[in-house]
Amino acid sequence: MEPAAQDPTPLKFELLQAGDDNPFLLRARGEIVYHLKAVAAEHALVAAHYGQANEFLLTTLLAVDDRQLHLDVGKDPETNRRLLAADRIVCVTHHDKVKIQFALRRLDNVTLQGRTAFRADIPERMLRLQRREYFRLVTPAARPLRCHIPMPGGAPSMVATVLDISGGGLAVVVPPDGLDFAPGTVFRGCRIDLPEVGTLAVDLRVMNLFEVTLKNGVQVMRSGCQFERLPGPMLTLVQRYILKVERERKARESGLA
């Protein structure tokens, strides 16, 4: 199955750094096989990224066992040839509204139940970006939130664009320089202006760091941060902002705004 030109490319994540208790990363083979079998049973589309130009093939998992998996081939022989020549293929899919990503080292061309298929070893690691305890709001692109992070020595604050926010934390685009977003780092006294709601004053603990390939092929650094001991009044501000944005979105969708 080849993607049509207008099909959106799923986001591709590269987990660069994470704490030892990172909840996203699976390493146990049994867990990885379980989730792969669930994807196969659901016939979910898998975007197999390869090469340096963000090329990808939309395919499906045909079969999974404890040692290997099989993917459907594409209709274009040249695409299939490039996939077979790639030394790393990053696969992105969803199951039960959870984003799943895993990397395959090499593909082989085989015959599976009378049809041509790709075969690969079971991946050693899997990213599973599961749902959070809190509802997570993707911030409006038209009115992006900015997180002001104090710098030592009285230097001007660094500003990071907020990608999403919840009662438990937020994700930001990491500024190109000036700040170390290593997992475990705590930024104290951060401020975020929530339009028509108030100013959020928080301490942020960095939990993970991803390199994200956007749909247009641009790569940015994304950091997931957790609120440190968020006071009740600040949590109320976050909840009020999320409800406000959701009400506005629903009003637009219903034609009332």
- Do 169 and 104 lie in a common domain? no
- Do 144 and 210 lie in a common domain? yes
Residue 184 domain-assigned (yes or no)? yes
- Do 16 and 124 lie in a common domain? yes
Give the span between the Cα atoms of 223 and 133, in whole angstroms: 18
Residue 1 domain-assigned (yes or no)? no
Give the span between the Cα atoms of 122 and 120, in whole angstroms: 7
- Could you tell me what percent of the chain has a pLDDT over 90? 46
- Do 124 and 144 lie in a common domain? no
Q: Identity (one letter) of the amino acid at 255?
A: G
Of 63, 96, 129, which one is at a domain's C-terminal end? 129
For the record, the structure tokens of 95 come out as: 């199951």
- Do 58 and 153 lie in a common domain? no
Residue 24 domain-assigned (yes or no)? yes
Instruction: Assign residue 242 the CATH number of its domain.
Output: 2.40.10.220
Give the span between the Cα atoms of 170 and 90, in whole angstroms: 26
Out of 61-65, 87-91, 179-183, least confident range: 179-183
Q: How confident is the model at residue 204 (pLDDT cuts 50, 70, 90)?
A: very high
Q: Output 188 or 180, whichever has higher pLDDT.
A: 188
What's the gap between Cα 159 and its chain centre? Answer: 22
Q: How confident is the model at residue 146 (pLDDT cuts 50, 70, 90)?
A: very high
- Do 69 and 164 lie in a common domain? no
Region 188-198: mean pLDDT is: 94
* pLDDT over threshold 80, residue 178: no
Helix (H, G, I), strand (E, B) or coil at 80: helix
- Do 179 and 150 lie in a common domain? yes
- Do 92 and 173 lie in a common domain? no
Whether this model's pTM surpasses 0.95:
no
Out of 2-6, 35-39, 224-228, least confident range: 2-6
Range of the domain at 242: 137-253
pLDDT of residue 250: 83
For the record, the structure tokens of 113 come out as: 């139940």
Q: Within the chain, where are the H helices?
A: 29-42, 77-85, 232-253
Beta strands in 89-215 (DSSP E): 89-95, 98-104, 108-112, 115-121, 126-129, 137-138, 145-149, 158-165, 169-173, 186-194, 198-213
- Do 151 and 112 lie in a common domain? no
Of 129, 160, 182, which one is at a domain's C-terminal end? 129
Average pLDDT, the chain: 84
Q: How many domains does the chain have?
A: 2
- Do 125 and 141 lie in a common domain? no
